[in-house]
Amino acid sequence: MSEPLLAVENLRIDLTIGGVHHAAVKDVSFTIGRGETFGLVGESGCGKSVTALALIGLLRPPLSVGAGAIRFKGHDLAQIGADDMRRLRGASVSMIFQEPMTALNPLSPVGRQIAEMFVLHKGATWVEAEKRAVEALASVRVPAPDRRAKDYPHQLSGGMRQRVMIAIALACGPDLLLADEPTTALDVTVQAEILELIRDLSAARGTAVLMISHDLGLIANMCARVGVMYAGRLVEEREAEDVFRDPAHPYTAGLIASLPLLGARARHGRARLQEIEGVVPSVTAFPAGCRFNPRCAERLERCAADDPAETALAAGGRVRCWRHG
């Protein structure tokens, strides 16, 4: 197998409060191949977004990369200088954020906000850049792109704004696109369009995608491989199909069991929705041993004492659980 586009190795992200480092993300490793779509799932606060921000070098205090390596196209992004990182950002790695409402500058026409990419990375003049921005808008299937380019963000719908974000992110043909909950803030019907757009454009341009979501259905749809995160750890990493057919980690199993099934009530009558007991612990109060152990239904004695290591599964993939170790 050729070298992957991105290899994250034992990444730790520290949250520093009053001089004390808390590992918000710990020992996270995964790879993404060229053109591959990799999914990261987990509840809010499990460290998905923070991991993405680390990949693009946008962690701000009190968060910082504590240890590990982020290998990307021959660079280690965990070690790289600020100026080199800035040149990669937008050009080779770009990001789409969750909130299209606030992610665009309200006082600047959207065309200009796309055009900035060409000025920054392609050395274009503003006139050229504005022209290419209209083309970029057309490529994300915005109707009447030459008129829309002059619009301000508040004049566009959420879906349109997210299209603008995608146009910005893909403007310079990046190798890796980080999509952090790109459809969470949108209507369901719009969600499908946006996902299709991301899938089509990344496939056409050979862009690899890190798709972050709490939505298992979306991840199953979009990704070949999936990583499941819980409380700052990657607890399971496998082919998407395997994960959903036969989850190895009790947390993944719990997540899948808690999916409400469409039509279940009609078939089986009224029933309580499944849930995982308890809540995600806060970063400053992670439990000893396996971080999932207080909520785990299949807890063993050693789970509360020892942190499980990663185990390779026979069917391929990895899991971090004593039941498999």
Partner 1 sequence: MLAYLARRLIQTIPILLAVAGVIFILFSVIPGSFASSLGDDGKAVLDADVMARMNRELGLSDPLHVRFARYVGQLAQFDLGSSFRTRQPVTGVIAERLWPSAQLAIASMLFAIVVGVPLGFLAAMRPGSLLDSVSMVAAVSGLSLPKFWLGLMLMYLFALKLGWFPSFGYGDGGLKHLVLPAVALGVSPLALLARTTRASVLEIMNADFVRTARSKGMSESRVVRWHLTRNALVIVLTTVGLQFGSVIGQAVVVEKLFSWPGLGSLLVDSVSLRDIPVVQGCILTIVLIFLVINLVVDVLCAMIDPRIKYT
Sheet containing 75-76, strands listed edge to edge, beginning at the edge strand earlier in sequence: 20-32, 6-17, 63-72, 75-76
Q: Which of 29, 31, 34, 99 binds partner 1 (CB under 8 A)?
A: 99
Between 177 and 216, whose beta carbon lies closer to partner 1?
A: 177
CA gap 144, 110 in Å, rounded: 13
142 and 133 Cβ atoms separated by less than 8 Å: no
Per rule CB under 8 A, is residue 44 in the interface with partner 1?
Answer: no
Measured in degrees and rounded to the nearest 5, phi and psi for residue 98 equal: -70, -40
Footprint on residues 160-179 left by partner 1 (CB under 8 A): 165, 168
CA gap 133, 118 in Å, rounded: 8
Stretch that binds partner 1, among 104-112, 183-191, 231-239, 291-299 (CB under 8 A): 104-112
SS3 (DSSP) at 29: strand
CB burial class (10 A; 0-12, 13-18, 19+) of residue 288?
exposed
Per rule CB under 8 A, is residue 103 in the interface with partner 1?
Answer: yes
Per rule CB under 8 A, is residue 56 in the interface with partner 1?
Answer: yes
Per rule CB under 8 A, is residue 259 in the interface with partner 1?
Answer: no
Per rule CB under 8 A, is residue 88 in the interface with partner 1?
Answer: yes
Per rule CB under 8 A, is residue 91 in the interface with partner 1?
Answer: yes
What minimum distance in Å lies between the beta carbon of 169 and partner 1?
8
Q: Which of 229, 249, 178, 239 is nearest to 44 (CA)?
A: 229
Per rule CB under 8 A, is residue 249 in the interface with partner 1?
Answer: no
280 and 296 Cβ atoms separated by less than 8 Å: no
Per rule CB under 8 A, is residue 181 in the interface with partner 1?
Answer: no
Secondary structure letter of residue 52 according to DSSP = H
What minimum distance in Å lies between the beta carbon of 180 and partner 1?
10
Q: Which of 7, 29, 75, 152 binds partner 1 (CB under 8 A)?
A: 152
Q: Which residues bind partner 1 (CB under 8 A)?
A: 56, 58, 86-91, 94-95, 97, 99, 102-108, 116-117, 120-121, 152, 154-155, 165, 168
